[in-house]
Amino acid sequence: MHKIDIYDTTLRDGSQREGISFSVSDKIKVAQKLDEFGVTFIEGGWPGSNPKDIEFFKRAARVKFKNAKLCAFGSTRRPGIKADEDENLQALVGAKTEVVTIFGKSWDFHVRDALKTSLEENLAMIKDSVAYLKALDKIVIFDAEHFFDGYSANPDYALLTVEAAALGGADVVVLCDTNGGLMPWDLPPIMEAVTSRISTPLGIHTHDDAGMATANALLAVKHGATHVHGTINGYGERCGNANLCTIIPNLQIKMKYDVLSAEQLRGLTKLSRFVAEQANFALPDQLPYVGYNAFTHKGGVHIDAVSKKPETYEHAEPELVGNRRRILVSELAGRSSISMKSNGTNIELLKDQPDTLSVLRKIKELEHYGYQFEGAEGSFELLVLKMMKAYQPLFKLEGFRLIIDKREDGRLFSEATIKVRVGDQQVHTAAEGNGPVNALDNALRKALEGIYPALKKMKLVDFKVRVIDGFDGTGAQVRVLIETRDDQRSWGTVGVSPNIIEASWIALVDSLEYGLLCRKLPEFKEAKELLNQLKTGSDQN
């Protein structure tokens, strides 16, 4: 089977989902994870549309991508002007990416009613724009927007638009189901019509408004497409884009296409959950392949059968995509779920170790309360070590007080006073901040930096708050996720409480303790090494 290129548009099309607002730092982190995972192309944004994307491309230019090519996205030139005079095309060139993706209208209805120009001018716009970018040695991907609707309305004109892109020298022509209404049985004859007119490699870009995005993408590959667009977790405007977390394993496992290495594919679940955390969204448990429930079994004959032969109730091996089998009843399976939690961290546990069941019970209790440890490996490792009595706390809180004062000029003033004990030494200090959590962070660091100088190298680089259940309004349970970084690594920690300050305090203390323990205390390293010697028990036993 031939190679299929994966084109990820999470950072552009995916960010158009309601509720997603990636910061520039978020976008850089997601791009790096996508590159590590092994996608072929990463669409970073539209540099001609907003300052955030302009800043992203400036910062991304300093990042060395190992597997993926970064793409700048934009439109064809406007009607009535030359390509080299168009501001949007100049912004694409200014992004300095090797690959440029431009979209053009392929539906005559849009040309007349949206662009307000002639059908002939639209064809010239497509050809001129592609040719201009090719003359600048760019790899050019042309998105034929609304192609399937356009073909349904006026097949001759829709085909002329992709011919114009091919004549301009496009490296790939992507057929877009922009409104997401295409039915799978309508796709094959349209693909055949396109391949009879142009020899340019074809791609597919589908939306899920009719629930057919994945089916249409896979069917397009069966009929000649070698380039597939989509987003992680299916994020996108309206009902979302084609979900790469479903498409990629289907292409590789079911259809036997060459997409990624086996090792890269095993990173799919981790990538899905990482992007969900960056988007500040809860990942639906029932997502195919990567959801928590994708390989979960509960009760009756299913458990008995799966314990003997997993394929009785599983269509694929969960390990292929980095997920884990979960059996919700029986002590044995419950202990095995600890292995899933420790996947990707430095701790692995034997299912028959005496402390494993107590760890399992604690994790279940915390998850019921609202904790999630996928993006909080620091808190998870600390929890396991605490349950196994592998270390002593580095300090003890004796109390803190927060003052929030709104002044006449409208400014908010925050001050934290804190009292901690380290051994027989008590430290009592205060600090200000631009908010209560920042003031608390500053006060805690001020109290401890004299005793633990390594704290000076640790910086809080991300802080997210998620309401777990909005039913209780402002009294709802919240989950706080913190990312901390020093000169060696970065790690995540989590805290949950109906009080946002308490949730922040829990995550903050974990972040500092974990960083210090990793750097400074030999007993913590020895405990981790001991745990690493244990081999995770098979979920099938």
* Contact criterion met (CB below 8 Å) for 95 and 47: yes
- What's the pLDDT tens digit per position in 115-140? 999 999 999 999 999 999 999 999 99
The helix or strand, by DSSP H or E, that contains position 212, with its residue range, turns out to be: none
Amino acid at 79: P
Contact by Cβ (8 Å): 498, 477: yes
Main-chain dihedrals φ then ψ at residue 171, nearest 5 degrees: -80, -30
Pure H helices in 395-486? 436-448
Q: In whole angstroms, what separates CA 19 from the centre of its chain? A: 14
Encode pLDDT of 39-91 as tens digits. Answer: 999 999 999 788 999 999 999 999 999 999 999 999 999 999 999 999 999 99
- pLDDT in the model for residue 373: 76
Instruction: Check whether 541 has a pLDDT greater than 50.
Output: no
Distance CA(461)–CA(233), nearest Å, equals: 24
Predicted confidence at residue 116, as pLDDT, reads 94
Identify the CA nearest to 139 among candidates 173, 114, 189. Answer: 173
Domains by residue range for the chain, with CATH: 5-260 (3.20.20.70), 348-394+456-541 (3.30.160.340), 405-451 (no CATH)
Q: Which amino acid is at 302?
A: H
Report how far apart, in Å, the C-alpha atoms of 399 and of each of 339, 355, 440, 449, 497 are.
Answer: 36, 32, 11, 18, 18
What local confidence, expressed as pLDDT, does residue 471 receive? 64
Rounded to an integer, what distance in angstroms lies between the CA atom of residue 69 and that of residue 63? Answer: 11
| Dihedral-angle region of residue 138 (phi above 0 means left; psi in -120 to 50 means alpha; beta otherwise) | beta
How big is the chain, counted in residues?
541
3-state helix, strand, coil in the chain (%, to 5): 45, 20, 35
Q: Give the model's confidence band at 146: pLDDT under 50 very low, under 70 low, under 90 confident, else very high.
A: very high
Report how far residue 260's alpha carbon sits from residue 235's, in angstroms, rounded to the nearest whole number: 21
User: CA angle, corner 32, sides to 31 and 33, nearest 5?
Assistant: 90
pLDDT by residue (tens digit) across 522-533?
Answer: 444 444 443 343
Q: Give mean pLDDT, residues 193-202.
A: 97
pLDDT digits (tens, 9 = 90+) for 218-262: 999 999 999 999 999 999 999 999 999 999 999 999 999 999 999
d(CA 153, CA 112): 13
CA angle at 379 for the pair 517 and 403, rounded to the nearest 5°: 90
The percent of residues above 90 in pLDDT, for the chain, comes to 61
Q: Give pLDDT tens digits for 338-375.
A: 443 344 334 445 445 566 677 777 877 887 788 877 66
pTM for this model (two decimals): 0.69
